[in-house]
Amino acid sequence: MKKKTSAGKILRRLRPYTGLLLLALLCAVASVTLTLLIPVLIGRAIDNIIAKGRVDFEAVARILGYIGISVVGMAVSQWLMNQLINIISYKTVRDLRRDIFRKLNSVPLSYIDTHPHGDLISRVINDVDAVGDGLTQTFLQLFSGIVTIVGTLVFMLTIDWRIAIAVVVLTPMSLFVAGFIGKLTHRRFTEQQLLQGDISSYVEEHVGNQRIVKAFSYEKRAFEEFEKYNERLYTVGFKAQFAGALANPTTRFVNACVYAAVGIIGALTVISGGLSIGGLSCFLTYANQYTKPFNEVTGVLTQFQTALAAAQRVVEVLDEQDEADPGSGVIPDCGGNVRIENVSFSYSPDKPLIENFSLEVKSGSHVAVVGPTGCGKTTLINLLMRFYDVNEGRILLDGVDIRTIPRDELRKNYGMVLQDSWLFCGTIMENLRYGNENASDEEIIAAAKSAHAHSFIRKMPKGYQTMISEGGGNLSQGQKQLLCIARAMLTDPKVLILDEATSSIDTLTESRVQRAFAKMMKGRTSFVVAHRLSTIRESDVILVMREGNIVEQGTHEELLDKKGFYYELYNSQFSG
């Protein structure tokens, strides 16, 4: 039932192209009609050669002319039908890929976090391509097949209804065989598509992290793990292809038996005088034409089953609920006052993380968040940005519950620099303008100077027009981080969030960037997540988190005087 539902949802996406589908159907009718007309003409030509005891060259020449015209018309109609079906399939694939990519941008972040990225990429690329190939083959076989079956049946009935009935009764056996094999193979093709997603995830992980793989000499073990995936895919794929491949020769055998039966029955009819030799020739051709669509359908059964399995995976993503964003509230002029009231949150119900957490941050305050790994520092940032919504309590920005503010509007008030720097394939100028598409070149250069990125950008081969490779592979980690900082500065945010923003920068550059941040944070509320406690001494307040709760808060000096948990953290970084 699920695969039928998936196929139906894919087919409903063809509605915008109904006109093209009807035109393709008309071309199929024209092509098949001309194809079926040719055997009739050939039969007449045969009768004009042998039936009258002499050759009627004039009649044969005229018939040959008709055959030539029919062949040309058939070829043109067939070509036009193929072109129209390709256009429909490619446009549908384009729409599917666009919609699934849009869906990935609208689902909750938790969906992306809980699904292997390589598998999602495989759905966008491999599965959508498989659906497109399936649509192309299905329509090619469907349009020409249905018209061929109906047309040949009509022509056969006009020649000899008894032989026609025999063909109609015997031929559907091939469909039963194909349907039985199709049911057996669908599960294997579904498993094959899932394994393709798994292997894509594994390859994506290891290609993107080759430095780590080589640093730990993991190449051999990585290859061994890949071989396990590859062998499983080979085994499942082989069984699926083998089972699918049984359909075509089996149905061809059934149809060959039908053809032989027609030949025997037709020969007896000719001997008894009920059918001419030309008529028998025409009938044999029609019997072959009638069974041809059944052979072709089973011939693409493997591809069709792959397309069905792929359609299921595509529809699974498209059916995901969009991230709920009912908010209609606005903050016309954000001041940066943040209040967190009795907030509780956990990624998993059985693993509590933040519980009954409260905090008030006045506009322009500089807040540092410190604590051991896993204590909830980054989770706090996720909640402020509404990457996740709180389970209980609320977060207020200038007195407005952030859940009532559309996410896009809320995030316009934030500037964010993460520990993991992300740059896309494009020029340095394009990457910086990502933070503010309306920024002028002068504003971008000024932001780069403030982030101390201008000097190294000038030394690049083409300056700000230098192309950055995928993931910033042609830049050092520190250079990538500086560009990300410049990009954040360009947004001119009301609230600044820095999550280990200077973790990849050398000490000298870090001191310069800290001064730039100090200038940038002036008058703005800022949250700084830091492991290096030496970088947050000047903060107005330091929040010390432990197991999802604030266990201490105060200035650097106040917390050291308490000689509590912060004191232990701070001194552990300078001991030994």
pLDDT tens for residues 265-317?
778 777 877 777 777 777 777 777 777 777 666 656 666 777 888 888 888 88
pLDDT grade for 79, boundaries at 50, 70 and 90: very high
Average pLDDT over residues 397-405: 87
Share of the chain above pLDDT 90, in %: 3
Q: What is the reported pLDDT for 476?
A: 79
Compare 198 and 429 and report the one with higher pLDDT. 429
- Of the ranges 322-326, 428-432, 433-437, 532-536, which is most confident? 428-432
Q: How many CB atoms lie under 10 A from the CB of residue 273?
A: 7
pLDDT grade for 253, boundaries at 50, 70 and 90: confident
Q: What is the reported pLDDT for 249?
A: 76
Burial of 232 per CB tally in 10 Å (0-12, 13-18, 19+): middle
Average pLDDT over residues 111-138: 84
pLDDT of residue 483 exceeding 90: no
151 close to 159: Cβ distance less than 8 angstroms: no
Burial of 85 per CB tally in 10 Å (0-12, 13-18, 19+): buried
pLDDT tens-digit map of 228-248: 888 888 888 787 777 767 766
Taking the C-alpha atoms of residue 75 and residue 83, their distance in angstroms, rounded to an integer, is 12
As beta bridge partners, residue 546 has 549
Q: What is the reported pLDDT for 190?
A: 75
Q: What is the reported pLDDT for 300?
A: 64
pLDDT of residue 359 exceeding 70: yes
Classified by CATH at the fold level, domain 338-572 comes out as Rossmann fold (3.40.50)
pLDDT tens-digit map of 491-528: 878 888 888 766 666 677 667 667 667 767 777 888 88
Residue 124 DSSP class? I
pLDDT of residue 213 exceeding 90: no
What is the DSSP annotation of 471-533? Answer: GGTTS-HHHHHHHHHHHHHTT--SEEEEESTTTTS-HHHHHHHHHHHHHHHTTSEEEEE-S-G
Q: What is the reported pLDDT for 576?
A: 46
pLDDT of residue 1 exceeding 50: no
Compare 463 and 241 and report the one with higher pLDDT. 463
246 close to 181: Cβ distance less than 8 angstroms: yes
390 close to 343: Cβ distance less than 8 angstroms: yes
Q: Structure tokens of 555? A: 């200035």
Instruction: Give me the chain's average pLDDT, please.
Output: 80
Average pLDDT over residues 246-252: 72
The full set of domain ranges for the chain reads 2-318, 338-572
Closest CA to 383 of 394, 367, 372, 370: 394
34-43, 274-283, 400-409, range with the lowest pLDDT: 274-283
Q: How many CB atoms lie under 10 A from the CB of residue 105?
A: 9
pLDDT of residue 76 exceeding 90: yes
For residue 502, the number of C-alpha atoms closer than 13 Å in the C-beta half-sphere is 22
Q: What is the reported pLDDT for 23?
A: 92
pLDDT of residue 119 exceeding 60: yes
**pTM for this entry:** 0.70
Q: What is the reported pLDDT for 35?
A: 82
Q: How does strand 392-397 pair with strand 338-345?
A: antiparallel
Q: What is the reported pLDDT for 394?
A: 92
CATH architecture of 2-318: Up-down Bundle (1.20)
**H/E run at residue 541:** strand 541-546
Q: Please report, as a single letter, which amino acid is at residue 9.
A: K
Q: Please enumerate in sequence order all residues whose Cβ is within 8 A of that of 247, keeping only pairs 6 or more positions apart, or say none.
A: 177, 178, 181, 182, 298, 299, 301, 302
Q: Using a CB cutoff of 8 Å and minimum separation of 24, what contacts does 205-211 make?
A: 205/118, 208/471
pLDDT of residue 51 exceeding 70: no
Compare 541 and 54 and report the one with higher pLDDT. 541
pLDDT tens-digit map of 306-356: 788 888 888 888 888 888 776 677 777 778 888 989 888 888 877 777 888
